């Protein structure tokens, strides 16, 4: 099996910890260790013996995750090393050559690459800017057939920050039911809504739903590398053995810290921190877009610390990002990494002064291109 170049991840891996200003990240400014734990919890962690834990996650951690999803118990949960591993395990354990998979675009391109590598027949539908980043229902209906095995979506969406309307959700559910297909829903941005209203999960809407999520985006804790799959018990039992061939288990420290994060008293505090950051910082970047006098058009994101404007400059998006990277030491994500040229993904989850300085440098580059 050969895998294709994962353009976005390769660029981020090479540059995100090297540049002066990183606006490529889609989460909020990370939380420090000392902000998470009290003295008793710290002593408990310092005395932890660093052995293996149960490979599907400790029962205590799976119990905390199950509280987020009504009707689940710990056997509906598989803990993974980040939501990226959760997505990988879903695809690896369910795709056979020739299977028909329908994927939402634009999107984080992991499932795009995995589906093609595993030999499936990939069909795509695009979210439409003129529909507030929702799909055209007629296009979606034309794609789903009796051969469709999986409909893969991300909601809230990366890179647009869009949210599926109730009409779009119902269309996806009805089409999946008609085809007897699985819905794989990446919900890692759930909890980072600008209006504070949690995006409804696909869990519980239909019998064949598997949800992935984790602590990287809405929780501001990508360094914990903690993710999860929520699915019917038999599905989890089928997928768990594939986990034995990858990371085996979460680290014991990450498991313990994740239980602290997901405890009822902490979880909502952390999500409110995120929502405050995205509300405050989107106002900053929205004002900056307007200052650029028609060069950008941005449908305001509903969730996540990401904006996805279309730009009016005669330059390819990757070429524009390379200019910013090499001349201004600022990293953003080009739209053609999502199969959409002349768009840019701005991450705006960093601290205010950092964000403002980075935007000043982007503005400098734009003026140089125009002049």
pLDDT band at 13 (very low <50, low <70, confident <90, very high): confident
Give me the long-range contacts of 316-321 (CB less than 8 A, separation at least 24).
316/341, 317/341, 317/342, 317/343, 317/344, 320/344, 320/365, 320/369, 321/11
Share of the chain above pLDDT 90, in %: 91
What is 100-169 written as a DSSP string? EEEEEES--THHHHHHHHTT-EEEEEEEEGGGTSEE-HHHHHHH--TTEEEEEEESS-TTT-----HHHH
Give the tens place of pLDDT for each residue, 191-247: 999 999 999 999 999 999 999 999 999 999 999 999 999 999 999 999 999 999 999
Structural domains of the chain, ranges and CATH numbers in brackets: 7-32+267-370 (3.90.1150.10), 51-264 (3.40.640.10)
pLDDT category of residue 8 using cuts at 50, 70 and 90: confident
Contact 15, 344 (CB under 8 A): no
Q: Tens digits of per-residue pLDDT, 152-194?
A: 999 999 999 999 999 999 999 999 999 999 999 999 999 999 9
The whole-number average pLDDT for the span 50-63 is 96
Q: Report the pLDDT value the prediction gives residue 7, as an integer from 0 to 100.
A: 82
pLDDT category of residue 67 using cuts at 50, 70 and 90? very high
pLDDT (tens digit per residue) in 92-121:
999 999 999 999 999 999 999 999 999 999
Q: What is the pLDDT of residue 231?
A: 98
Give helix 82-92 / helix 233-243 axis angle, nearest 10°: 100
């Amino acid at each position: 099996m050969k895998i294709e170049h994962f353009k976005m991840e390769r660029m981020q891996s090479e540059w995100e910890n090297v540049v002066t200003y990183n606006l490529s990240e889609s989460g909020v400014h990370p939380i420090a260790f000392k902000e998470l734990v009290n003295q008793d919890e710290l002593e408990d962690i310092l005395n932890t013996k660093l052995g293996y834990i149960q490979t599907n996650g400790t029962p205590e951690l799976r119990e905390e995750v199950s509280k987020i999803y009504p009707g689940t118990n710990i056997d509906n949960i598989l803990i993974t090393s980040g939501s990226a591993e959760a997505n990988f395990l879903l695809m690896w354990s369910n795709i056979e050559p020739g299977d028909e998979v329908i994927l939402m675009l634009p999107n984080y391109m992991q499932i795009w690459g995995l589906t093609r590598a595993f030999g499936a027949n990939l069909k795509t539908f695009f979210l439409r800017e003129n529909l507030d980043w929702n799909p055209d229902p007629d296009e979606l209906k034309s794609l789903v057939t009796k051969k469709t095995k999986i409909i893969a979506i991300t909601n809230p969406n990366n890179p647009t920050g869009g949210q599926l309307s109730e009409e779009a959700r119902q269309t996806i559910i009805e089409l999946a039911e008609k085809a007897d297909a699985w819905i794989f829903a990446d919900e890692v941005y759930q909890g980072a809504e600008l209006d504070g209203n949690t995006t409804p999960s696909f869990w519980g809407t239909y019998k064949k739903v598997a949800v992935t999520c984790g602590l990287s985006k809405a929780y501001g804790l990508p360094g914990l590398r903690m993710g999860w799959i929520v699915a019917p018990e038999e599905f989890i039992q089928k997928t768990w053995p594939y986990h034995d061939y990858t990371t085996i288990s979460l680290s014991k420290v990450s498991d313990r810290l994740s239980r602290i994060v997901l405890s009822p008293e902490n979880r909502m505090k952390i999500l409110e921190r995120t929502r405050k950051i995205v509300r405050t910082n989107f106002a900053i970047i929205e004002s900056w877009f307007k200052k650029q006098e028609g060069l950008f058009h941005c449908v305001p994101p509903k969730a996540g610390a990401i904006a996805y404007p279309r730009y009016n400059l005669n330059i390819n998006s990757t070429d524009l990002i390379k200019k910013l990277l090499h001349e201004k030491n600022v990293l953003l994500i080009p739209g053609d990494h999502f199969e959409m040229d002349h768009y840019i993904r701005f991450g705006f989850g960093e601290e205010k002064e950092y964000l403002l300085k980075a935007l000043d440098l982007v503005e400098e580059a734009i003026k140089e291109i125009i002049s």
